[in-house]
Structure formats: C-alpha cells, structure tokens
C-alpha cells in the first residue's frame, strides 16, 4: 500500500486540514501528518508552542498520527537553520536575503535543506519509491493557488492539494479552526524570514520586540561576517536593500507603518512547504 502523508506546516491551512480530517471532510485520507521543524530556535516560538499545546492533543484525541521530524547530522546532532546561519566560520546564507541595491530576494536553500529534503528522507525511509510513490498533501489554499508548482514533485511522490480541491481560502481555514473550538495558530514561518511583508515586521517589532531585535541582530551578524570577507551588505527587507537601510531603520519603533511600505509586495515561499 502506498504512503499517504500530509506535509504539515504548522499554520492556518495545515491546522484547518487536520480539523477537516478529524471531521471526515477532507477529500484525501492521510495516514501521517509530518511537521519538519527547522529548529526550535528558528521556527516562530508561537508555532512551536501551538504544535505542542494544541495540535498534538487534538490529533491524539482524534487518532491522527502527527509527528515532528528534525534535521540530524551524521554526528547525531540536531541541526537548525538559525544555528547554521550563526555558526562560527560559516560563509553560506541559506535564507533569501536581499542583496545591496536589489529588490529581488536571493537564492535560498533553507526550504530545500530543512523541509523538502527531510520530508523526502522520511518518505523514502518509509517505503516511497518511484514505482510506488507516496501521496503528499500540501496545505495551499485557493487564494494562494499561484504557489502550486507540481513540477517540483520528486519521482517518489505525488503532490495533492486538498484545500484547493475543496475551494477553501485562508478565511475559510480560520473559520474551520474557530468552529472546532481551537485557537487560531500564528502564521507559520521562521521569525527572521526575509519573505516577511513590512506589515509582518512591524507587527513583530510592536508585539514581540525581543524577537524583532534578534532578527535585526542576525542581519548585523551576517553583515559583519560579509565585511570581513570583503562582500557587499545584505538586508532582510527589499526596501532596506534598495535604500541601504537596516531592518531597524526600515521598521522604526513606536511609529505607524510608513505609507510606502504598505505598497511593498514581497514574495512568498513557493510550493507550500513553508508558511502553511
């Protein structure tokens, strides 16, 4: 029998899909719900707390197999994205930072290394092959249908999009979660992700100033390292890159979001492995 797995992102779409599965309303049955944790120090703390305090008890109550996997090195040590970024001597930047003078995000390997590759490894360890591919559910909703890119499916998997099939939008997902009596999860992503919108950054600075300062500190650390290597500066926001301003300058404390930032449109993580 083929594997049937939902790639659980920890956010509103994934939780709504879990609720619908518990209610017997999801059009595809998934035997396993797999959350690839990029690191307790990397995922937003609210996502980690919600997973342990809400998702796992709900899944246990409804006999759904939800599990967390992590990236583990050959030495047996758990690897995290933040740890990789801040590791002494590291020269690589796995997140899609903005290069100086450029509006476009740079290349990223974070999703591939900490999400796609780890879930792929788990699938193959549990029997998925090119001859017997696993069905893998992805939590993209109808209003984000442009994120679907099935060309990235590996030979050992067949991607399906049950929320799109049900014509559900993010607002429907929120209603589904609330009607089930569960709190609404925060939007899942790393707290330092350069794909955050200016609104996300402003909310973080207002509501979680320590976390915002940690993100600004990461930007500083990466630039200090690049300066020693004689490389150009990088930025966590598009406006910062085009105007040479740090995260702290772009998102000032104690002020409303600047009008030009409201018009800025940032990219989102494609294919639904993050931010679902």
- At 152, the pLDDT band (50, 70, 90 cuts) reads confident
Is the model's pLDDT at 56 over the cut of 70?
yes
Same domain, 153 and 46: yes
Asked whether residue 237 is assigned to any structural domain, the reply reads yes
pLDDT band at 263 (very low <50, low <70, confident <90, very high): very low
- Which range has the worst mean pLDDT, 32-36, 150-154, 182-186? 150-154
Beta-strand relationship, 4-7 and 134-138? parallel
Confidence of residue 274 (pLDDT cuts 50, 70, 90): confident
Asked if residue 70 and residue 206 are part of one domain, the reply reads no
Q: Which of 128, 156, 187 is the last residue of a domain?
A: 187
CA 74 to chain centre: 24
Burial of 50 (0-12, 13-18, 19+ CB in 10 A): buried
Work out the number of other CB atoms within 10 angstroms of the CB of residue 252: 12
How high is the pLDDT of residue 258?
Answer: 56
Domain stop point among 131, 165, 187? 187
User: Does 160 share its domain with 232?
Assistant: no
Band the pLDDT of 264: cuts 50, 70, 90: very low
- Residue 112 and residue 180 in one domain: yes
Query: What is the DSSP code (8-state) at residue 182?
Result: P
With respect to residue 206, please indicate whether it lies within any of the assigned structural domains: yes
> In 106-138, which positions are buried (b, 16+ CB within 10 angstroms) versus exposed (e)?
eebbbbebbbbebbbebbeeeebeeeebbbbbb
pLDDT at position 259 is 52
Looking at the domain assignment, is residue 142 inside a domain?
yes
Residue 181 shares a structural domain with residue 205: no
Residue 182 and residue 202 in one domain: no
Residues 172 and 208 grouped into a single domain: no
Backbone angles phi, psi at 210, to 5 degrees: -65, -40
Residue 74 has pLDDT above 50, yes or no: yes
When divided into structural domains, the chain yields a total of 2
Residue 214 sits in which domain range? Answer: 198-262
**pLDDT band for position 104 (cuts 50, 70, 90):** confident
Question: Has residue 143 been placed in a domain?
Answer: yes
Terminal CA-CA length for the chain: 28
- pLDDT band at residue 270, thresholds of 50, 70 and 90? low
In a domain, 269, yes or no: no
Looking at the structure, tell me whether residues 91 and 152 fall in a common domain: yes
Please check whether residues 179 and 204 belong to one and the same domain. Answer: no
CATH of the domain at 94: 3.40.50.620
Would you place residue 1 in the very low, low, confident or very high pLDDT band (cuts 50, 70, 90)? confident
In the chain, the percentage of residues whose pLDDT exceeds 70 is 92
Q: Are residues 183 and 210 in the same domain?
A: no
Mean pLDDT of all residues in the chain?
Answer: 90
Q: Examine the fold and report which residue of 166, 187, 208 is the final residue of a domain before the chain moves on.
A: 187
Contact between residue 91 and residue 221 where contact means Cβ atoms under 8 Å apart? no
Residue 256 belongs to some domain of the structure: yes
Q: What φ, ψ does residue 200 adopt, rounded to 5°?
A: -60, -45
Provide the token pair at 235: 């930025």
C-alpha 246/C-alpha 237 separation (Å) is 8
β-pair type (234-235, 98-99): antiparallel
* One domain, residues 38 and 174: yes
Average pLDDT of the residues in 97-105: 84
Mind listing the pLDDT tens digit for each residue in 107-134? 778 888 899 899 999 999 999 999 999 9
What confidence score (pLDDT) does residue 45 get?
A: 96
pLDDT in tens, 218-262: 999 999 999 999 999 999 999 999 999 999 999 988 655 555 555
Helices (H), 5-109: 12-22, 45-50, 56-61, 81-86
Question: Has residue 268 been placed in a domain?
Answer: no
Q: Are residues 88 and 109 in the same domain?
A: yes
- 164-196 per-position pLDDT tens digit: 999 999 999 999 999 999 999 998 899 999 999
- For the ranges 3-17, 52-66, 111-125, the lowest mean pLDDT is seen at 111-125
Is 270 within a domain? no
């Amino acid at each position: 029998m083929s594997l049937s797995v939902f790639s659980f992102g920890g956010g509103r779409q994934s939780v709504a899909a879990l609720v619908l599965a518990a209610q017997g309303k999801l059009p595809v049955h998934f035997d396993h719900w797999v959350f690839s944790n990029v690191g307790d120090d990397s995922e937003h703390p609210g996502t980690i707390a919600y997973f342990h305090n809400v998702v796992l008890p709900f899944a246990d109550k409804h006999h759904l197999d939800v599990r967390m996997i992590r990236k583990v090195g050959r030495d047996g040590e758990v690897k995290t994205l933040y740890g990789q970024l801040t590791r002494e001597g590291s020269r690589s930047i796995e997140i899609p930072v903005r290069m100086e003078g450029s509006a476009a995000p740079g290349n990223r390997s974070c999703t591939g290394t900490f999400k796609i590759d780890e879930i792929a490894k788990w699938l193959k360890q549990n029997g998925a092959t090119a001859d017997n591919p696993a069905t893998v559910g992805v939590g993209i909703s109808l209003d984000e249908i442009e994120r679907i890119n099935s060309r990235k499916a590996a030979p050992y998997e067949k991607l399906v999009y049950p929320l799109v099939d049900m014509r559900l939008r993010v607002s429907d997902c929120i209603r589904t979660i609330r009607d089930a009596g569960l709190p609404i999860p925060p939007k899942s992503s790393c707290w330092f992700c350069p794909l955050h919108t200016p609104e996300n950054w402003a909310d973080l600075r207002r509501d979680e100033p320590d976390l915002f300062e940690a993100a600004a500190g990461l930007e500083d650390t990466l630039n200090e390292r690049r300066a020693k290597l004689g490389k150009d500066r990088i930025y966590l926001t598009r406006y910062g890159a085009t105007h040479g301003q740090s995260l702290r300058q772009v998102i000032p404390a104690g002020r409303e979001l600047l009008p030009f930032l409201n018009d800025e449109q940032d990219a989102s993580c494609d294919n639904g492995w993050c931010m679902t």
